[in-house]
Structure 1
Amino acid sequence: MSIPEYLQEAYVMLTSAYPNGVPDAEYPALVGALKEGMSLRNIGDVLAELIGQDPIEGYLDALGSDLPSADPDVARVREKLAAFGWDPEIL
């Protein structure tokens, strides 16, 4: 799968933030942070390309994510992503 052009910026930001891949322990918080600014479908598409999974898996992970945005792990991931240009208001 190739990433759609409108998701390129998000994909580049994620690969910059996670050059060695997303640690399993951080994945739920990443999904929680992405939910703040992306549709479930876009999350599925970006995660599919980022970690090599089927887009429906990322979609379902986002759909089932119940971490609140105030969760400390989500906040930590949000800060990490912000260092690489994450702005949920523009994605």
Structure 2
Amino acid sequence: MPPFLNAIIDWLRAGYPDGVPEADYIPLLALLRRRLSDEEVRALAAELAGTGDLPADSTDIQVMITKVTNEMPSEDDVTRVRTRLAAHAWPDPESPE
């Protein structure tokens, strides 16, 4: 896995030390998709699932990614996840790079 994806995994583990709660799956993947390609999101999700940080198998991950593309999370969900991740120095996907 490329070093920048490993850095993202480390950052996600810092933001979610007890794993990602189910209510945050879709908003988290939606935020990540604003910065990463679909393939990068799949690689991250597979790694997190493999280590138990994201309690899902590969089929669940594919379903979650499909949901992100077909069903946007609520603004409250996005704000909750964005706030949690910003506390660990992740750049806001809404801000210019």
What TM-score does the superposition give when structure 2 sets the normalisation length? 0.71
String of CA shifts for 1:4-33, please: whole Å, max 9, x gaps: 323121111101111111111211111111
What TM-score does the superposition give when structure 1 sets the normalisation length? 0.75
Runs of 4 or more consecutive aligned structure 1 residues displaced over 2 Å after TM superposition:
51-54, 56-64
> How far apart are the structure 1 equivalents of 2:76 and 2:16?
19
Q: Which residue number corresponds to residue 18 of structure 1?
A: 16
Structure 1 residues not aligned, in runs of 5+: none
Structure with the greater alpha carbon radius of gyration: 2
Report how many aligned residue pairs link the two structures: 86
> How far apart are the structure 1 equivalents of 2:4 and 2:63?
21
The reply on whether 1:82 has 2:86 as its aligned counterpart is: yes
Q: Which amino acid aligns with 2:41?
A: I
> How far apart are the structure 2 equivalents of 1:39 and 1:75?
21
The alignment yields a C-alpha RMSD, in angstroms, of: 2.3
Structure 2 residues not aligned, in runs of 5+: 51-56
